Amino acid sequence: MSLGIVILAAGKGTRMKSALPKVLHPLAGKPLLGHVLDTATSLKPDTIVVVYGHGGTTVQATFPDPNIQWVEQTQLLGTGHAVQQALPKLQTVDQILILYGDVPLINTDTLQQLIDRSITNTALGLITIKFADPTGYGRIVRDAVGNILRNVEQKDASIDELTINEINTGIMTAKRQHLGSWLNRINNNNAQGEFYLTDCIGLAVADGIKIISAKPKCTEEILGVNDRIQLGTLERYVQKKYAVELMHNGVTIMDPTRFDLRGTLQTGKDVSIDVNIIIEGNVVLGDNVSIGPNCLLRNCTIGANTQIYANSIIENSSIAESVRIGPFARIRPGTTIAELVHVGNFVEIKNSHIGIGSKVNHLTYIGDSEIGNAVNIGAGTITCNYDGAYKHKTTIGDNAFIGSNVALVAPVQIGVDATVGAGSVITQDTPDAKLILARSKQQVIEDWQRPKKSSKK
Amino acid sequence: MSLGIVILAAGKGTRMKSALPKVLHPLAGKPLLGHVLDTATSLKPDTIVVVYGHGGTTVQATFPDPNIQWVEQTQLLGTGHAVQQALPKLQTVDQILILYGDVPLINTDTLQQLIDRSITNTALGLITIKFADPTGYGRIVRDAVGNILRNVEQKDASIDELTINEINTGIMTAKRQHLGSWLNRINNNNAQGEFYLTDCIGLAVADGIKIISAKPKCTEEILGVNDRIQLGTLERYVQKKYAVELMHNGVTIMDPTRFDLRGTLQTGKDVSIDVNIIIEGNVVLGDNVSIGPNCLLRNCTIGANTQIYANSIIENSSIAESVRIGPFARIRPGTTIAELVHVGNFVEIKNSHIGIGSKVNHLTYIGDSEIGNAVNIGAGTITCNYDGAYKHKTTIGDNAFIGSNVALVAPVQIGVDATVGAGSVITQDTPDAKLILARSKQQVIEDWQRPKKSSKK
Amino acid sequence: MSLGIVILAAGKGTRMKSALPKVLHPLAGKPLLGHVLDTATSLKPDTIVVVYGHGGTTVQATFPDPNIQWVEQTQLLGTGHAVQQALPKLQTVDQILILYGDVPLINTDTLQQLIDRSITNTALGLITIKFADPTGYGRIVRDAVGNILRNVEQKDASIDELTINEINTGIMTAKRQHLGSWLNRINNNNAQGEFYLTDCIGLAVADGIKIISAKPKCTEEILGVNDRIQLGTLERYVQKKYAVELMHNGVTIMDPTRFDLRGTLQTGKDVSIDVNIIIEGNVVLGDNVSIGPNCLLRNCTIGANTQIYANSIIENSSIAESVRIGPFARIRPGTTIAELVHVGNFVEIKNSHIGIGSKVNHLTYIGDSEIGNAVNIGAGTITCNYDGAYKHKTTIGDNAFIGSNVALVAPVQIGVDATVGAGSVITQDTPDAKLILARSKQQVIEDWQRPKKSSKK
């Protein structure tokens, strides 16, 4: 039994008031359509067809997966019409599932159960749910013994039908041959003048096909995103869910309502995450890692027992075990930090390696550098890596001591065990184990007067 | 039909436990009384009278608007007495509306409708609301057919009257002549020994004057602030409302419960605002602006396509299009930043202009400076703008390259296309297109030993 | 009447998924068991016995109070067995109260009332509460007139008993002699094969001992912590409670859901606390102190009228009155800052004294220093306090002016009224009231060309 999935993603999304196609707006750091595609993929279908309209080329460019088939719906004539456009790509599948690019949180298990039961019963399968306030949704009309008769849209519903609180989510599965037959027969004689996919329900009943329904595990599974308020609601729902899952797995999160995960997070044992943290991309935190408040971690690995203090930012870098970083540190892409390193406040490190046990504690810029083990970098040290045209490398040997306010003009090498005096500008490579100075003589100017503010201005 | 508005603002606000008069405590960055004055002004009245008591001169000084009339209530004898003090200033108006300096969120539409209906019916108009728990509020007593008979205060209410859940908000409007007549007749024979404004209701009934009531759109409109918990509740209500309005207008706000707007915010299309942002004063964000987490923006304009990264602060400055600022940048008052500029981490800029495409990326202080286009400022550069008495200006020509750790001792001018070597202290103006150095020769000290920690301490 | 308190703290806490014993997990900055011990101590008992099991030595080491008696429960055979292990330490007390190391928020008043009533009635006293969903808790079985008959555990309850929604919290008090007698008689014939402390209830009834119950003031008092989700729930509950108490006392807290107090906070009048603040240890804030957003204060005292701007961190330091600190400042342990000092952005101060009215405004590191009054420290100044082996002291006299980008190589003294020129490296003590320079001559290199990016790469 082969499965084809159609994802309807052609809606204009006018209420988003955005130049970005609606299905590309991010939820937890991933486009809405990306969530649906991931769920679709998890069902192991033979074919996935995305029906696009508005902003189509941008949408395709965002998902360069060759396994996705793209169909353009040039005229927006309704959901039934949209699915019909996709059918030519689905001639080899037995069963079709219809999803929506703006309903991002539908769950794999919910769908798998719906598909399995539909196949077993040769039925049309629907996801339905009861809403206390069903206003605006299509209602599910059942007969006296509970069999589904049809779906009626809000605008076409009678007064009695408007009191029904079981609504149709639009998520549907059926045999390909059934669906094709129904879509050939639906019309647009309704308030909107559109071809409704949901009219298939009445046709199925007329054909004597059984209709089954399944419920999602939670309401959020079937919520659509039509404006940024709905997007924000789902964002907070997802974030709270992520936080609770992590806490369940043994992570301390100081405030699950102030936690944002926009990617994936792997955690060791006894990880502690303070308030207002943002995780982006793929982040791995080892055992006993603690992350202070207001930190931003993006695509990085943090080794066991490492502590990241408040207000630090780490991007595309790898931090080893038992390191201390921050507060107010920024580790930029391409950096590897070895065991036992200390990186302190107002320090920027970019595209560099810091060796075991080295210290870069204060007001320093390290760029394009290879720093050995047990090196001490004094406060205010700057690697001058840019000559106005090219970037150059600074290399510092093990156990070197760089005094404060030193400028290291790259390309330059500092020897093993070397000591560079405070305030020196180093432009030439230095030998091992020597003191290197570039310093003017201190002098007292005897007859100088400091400017004074004139009493009258 | 001319309108006079009386704002009662004489209450002590004891439960605020504050030296600041209650009506001056800020809500969303504006004093409580400021909110009420803005709403009052929006009704286009002929006269606004504020009745002040506690902290009067501070209150007046906060609102130097010559259109406000101020009346001191030296003895706090009740709301009826307070309004009576204001009447002499209102002899030329036909209709009077009474508002409260500590009920900040009453809505213009609600009031306009109340006024219009009161005038049409020559009625006394009241804002009333039903509370599940009316404890503490005056109850609205109606007759069998629903006509309002009187208001009864909690402390004077019978057991039956205490069960009434429609309460009087105190907001009232009436013809001046009616109100004057009633206020002459009220007394202080009640549990509090005060002249209640609300006793006018019973007198109006006795006089055969119709009484109408109107409801606010939401409870928060009529909530008063008596302590900081109530102030906090309204603060969060207002902030959530602002966030939802912005989202409705097409702004992405990552968490509407972590957004603070203490002033006004204008936004272009597709603006994105991350968590924990504070906006103060008047802020304008162009199309496609993105603001990273934990930023504070105060009185500034940010051009289209500009990105403000995490943990940045911008005050009283103007930022052009396609600029990148932060993370950890601070732009202080008087700064203008042109198109395509990059300002990086741990950089402070004050009262300066940065020309098109220039870069100030790391650990730098730029003060009182005029920086040309396409200038590169190296890491750790400092403009020495203060001589202990006066501030001086630094001017840097287009396309200049300032090496790292340079000190520019103002007043000083760096020529167009000039290059200043790393670590230089520049005290004199430099020519165009030359390399300028102030640097000591690097030397190796052969026989020096780095101090070692003695094994015994 | 002497009181003994038994605290059961031997549970494994498997669902915490932690190497740390459950009762040591922090709530509002204090271990769970610490909360219970503080409450126990507030009841002025003669003896406190903690029954420990898992992680026992770590638990003991965390609370080195000699007034606590420790008893190991080597086999986890149930709560009744645990209390029995403690009895030998309690032979001199009249009344015994049983608390739980993982039920941190039980209230002193609730317990005192329970104890008083139990003593007066020679009764067994229980804390019970009604839960809408009692699933998982032991149910309180009462007779037709409301007398408590027994407790039945979820797993041993009949279908009828499962509908009871009054649950037993496990907190219990009784005369020592009664409790000892009952514990000798309980058995482990139940679904869990454990000795239940709660079986004492049935025995008391059989003995004709009266059983009384008391309710906690709020549900959170009796909630236990079994996993990090429950820990997180209590954390937010406690934090909200702290915030509301502070607001009630006249502190403005911009968002009570973004406030974290992990210790104690004393506040003067009109203190204002912006969003996302963390307070740790013991912090004292004087009158009119304002704390900007995203600040972290740990063990510090802040004088009246001092303003701490956004994103600042202050640890183990003392700040005087009318000081301004931040934004982006870090004050590290051992620092005292006198009146009227300004500390600006990207400034780190460690183990130093800053005298009255001095200014350290930009990109500076001050370590191990004694700075006089009215000193101006230029941007980018570094005290070079570390020679690779030892830390040394920098002393700066009153009214000195340190130019920008200066390195002060400690040990070194700068004279009163001295001026140090920008960019100088100062290695020797300087005289009073003189200008001191260590600076190279500025020179123009005529024939130098700045590197250019080759058009082809």
Give dist(CA A202, CA A147) in Å, integer.
12
Q: Say whether pLDDT at B38 is over 60.
A: yes
Strands C68-72, C47-52: pairing kind: parallel
Q: Say whether pLDDT at A455 is over 80.
A: no
Looking up tokens 């006894």 gives A270
Once rounded to an integer, what is the mean pLDDT over residues B55-60? 86
Verify whether the Cβ–Cβ distance B363 to C363 is below 8 Å. yes
Verify whether the Cβ–Cβ distance C380 to A252 is below 8 Å. no
pLDDT band at B190 (very low <50, low <70, confident <90, very high): confident
Question: C367, C391 in Cβ contact below 8 A?
Answer: yes
pLDDT band at C84 (very low <50, low <70, confident <90, very high): very high
What is the number of helices (H) and of strands (E) in chain A? 8, 36
CB of A155 within 8 Å of any CB in chain B? no
The strand ranges marked E within A176-293 are 211-214, 252-253, 259-267, 272-273, 277-285, 290-291
- Mean pLDDT, chain A, as a whole number? 95
Least confident stretch, A216-220, B288-292, C224-228, C437-441: C437-441
To the nearest whole percent, how much of chain C has pLDDT over 90? 89
Which phi and psi (to 5°) does residue C141 adopt? -95, 125
Q: Which residues of C fall within a CB distance of 8 Å from A294?
A: 276, 294, 311
Angle at B455 between CA A323 and CA C383, to 5 degrees: 60
Which pLDDT value is given to residue C12? 83
The pTM of this model reads 0.95
Touching C: B residues 353-392, CB under 8 Å: 363-365, 367, 380, 382-384, 386, 388
Active-site residue, A362 included: yes
pLDDT tens for each residue of B313-360? 999 999 999 999 999 999 999 999 999 999 999 999 999 999 999 999
Least confident stretch, A91-105, C183-197, C231-245: C183-197
Q: Which residues of A fall within a CB distance of 8 Å from B253?
A: 228, 232
Once rounded to an integer, what is the mean pLDDT over residues A172-189? 95
pLDDT tens for each residue of C139-151? 999 999 999 998 8
CA distance B167 to chain C (A): 25
Once rounded to an integer, what is the mean pLDDT over residues C36-58? 93
Question: C80, C73 in Cβ contact below 8 A?
Answer: no
Give dist(CA B84, CA B285) in Å, integer.
47
Q: Say whether pLDDT at C457 is over 70.
A: no
pLDDT tens for each residue of C333-392? 999 999 999 999 999 999 999 999 999 999 999 999 999 999 999 999 999 999 989 999
Which pLDDT value is given to residue B291? 98
Q: What CATH architecture applies to the domain A3-222? A: Alpha-Beta Complex (3.90)
Give dist(CA C444, CA C434) in Å, integer.
29
ipTM confidence: 0.94
Q: CA dist B92 to A63, B51, B179, C100, Å?
A: 71, 18, 14, 73
Q: Say whether pLDDT at B54 is over 80.
A: no
Strand partners, C408: C383, C426
Q: Please list, in sequence order, all residues whose beta carbon lies within 8 angstroms of the beta carbon of residue B301, skipping any fewer than 6 positions away.
A: B283, B284, B286, B318, B319
Q: CA dist C65 to B51, B220, C4, C7, C38, Å?
A: 60, 51, 16, 15, 11
Please tell me which residue in A54, A81, A353, A362 is annotated as part of the active site. Answer: A362
pLDDT band at B42 (very low <50, low <70, confident <90, very high): very high
CA distance C131 to chain A (A): 23
CA gyration radius, chain C: 31
pLDDT band at A44 (very low <50, low <70, confident <90, very high): very high
Q: Say whether pLDDT at B181 is over 80.
A: yes
Verify whether the Cβ–Cβ distance A362 to C382 is below 8 Å. yes
Indicate the residue of C20, C229, C407 with minimum beta-carbon distance to A248: C229
The strand ranges marked E within C75-233 are 95-100, 124-130, 139-142, 148-152, 166-175, 211-214
Burial C259-281 (b: 16+ CB within 10 A, else e): bbbbeebebbbbbbbbbbbbbbe
**Hey, do B3-222 and B228-436 end up sharing a CATH topology, with the first three levels equal?**
no
**Domain B228-436, what fold?**
UDP N-Acetylglucosamine Acyltransferase; domain 1 (2.160.10)
Q: Which residues of B fall within a CB distance of 8 Å from C328?
A: 311, 313, 328, 330, 346
**Residue C369 tokens, joined:** 């220093």
pLDDT band at B192 (very low <50, low <70, confident <90, very high): confident
CB of A240 within 8 Å of any CB in chain B? no
Closest CA to B400 of B424, B372, B423: B372
Q: CA dist C225 to C11, C13, C32, C33, Å?
A: 11, 9, 9, 11
Which pLDDT value is given to residue C456? 58
Helix axes A228-248 and B228-248, enclosed angle (nearest 10): 120
- Mean pLDDT, chain B, as a whole number? 95
Q: What is the total residue count of chain C?
A: 457
**Residue B406 tokens, joined:** 């340079």
CA distance C448 to chain B (A): 6
Which pLDDT value is given to residue B312? 98
pLDDT tens for each residue of A267-322? 999 999 999 999 999 999 999 999 999 999 999 999 999 999 999 999 999 999 99
Which chains contact A through at least 3 pairs of Cβ atoms less than 8 Å apart?
Answer: B, C
CB of C230 within 8 Å of any CB in chain A? no
Q: Say whether pLDDT at B456 is over 70.
A: no
Question: B92, B186 in Cβ contact below 8 A?
Answer: no
- Dmax of chain C from CA atoms? 109
Give dist(CA C54, CA C76) in Å, integer.
10
Burial B380-411 (b: 16+ CB within 10 A, else e): bbbbbbbbeeeebbbbbbbbbbbbbbbbbbbe
Once rounded to an integer, what is the mean pLDDT over residues C206-230? 96
**Residue A404 tokens, joined:** 């404060």
Q: Say whether pLDDT at B274 is over 60.
A: yes
Cα-to-chain-centroid distance, residue B28? 5
CA distance A412 to chain C (A): 17
Say which residue, C451 or A229, is predicted with more confidence.
A229
Verify whether the Cβ–Cβ distance C436 to A445 is below 8 Å. yes
Shortest CA distance from B386: residue in chain A: A451
**Residue C265 tokens, joined:** 């906070």
CB of A232 within 8 Å of any CB in chain B? yes
Question: C30, C225 in Cβ contact below 8 A?
Answer: no
Q: Say whether pLDDT at C124 is over 90.
A: yes
CB of C270 within 8 Å of any CB in chain B? yes
Q: What is the total residue count of chain B?
A: 457
Q: Please list, in sequence order, all residues whose beta carbon lies within 8 angstroms of the beta carbon of residue B83, skipping any fewer than 6 positions away.
A: B6, B8, B51, B96, B98, B179, B183, B197
Domain boundaries, chain A: 3-222, 228-436
Once rounded to an integer, what is the mean pLDDT over residues B227-234? 97
Closest CA to C5 of C88, C95, C67, C74: C95
Which pLDDT value is given to residue A456? 58
Which pLDDT value is given to residue B191? 78
- Mean pLDDT, chain C, as a whole number? 95
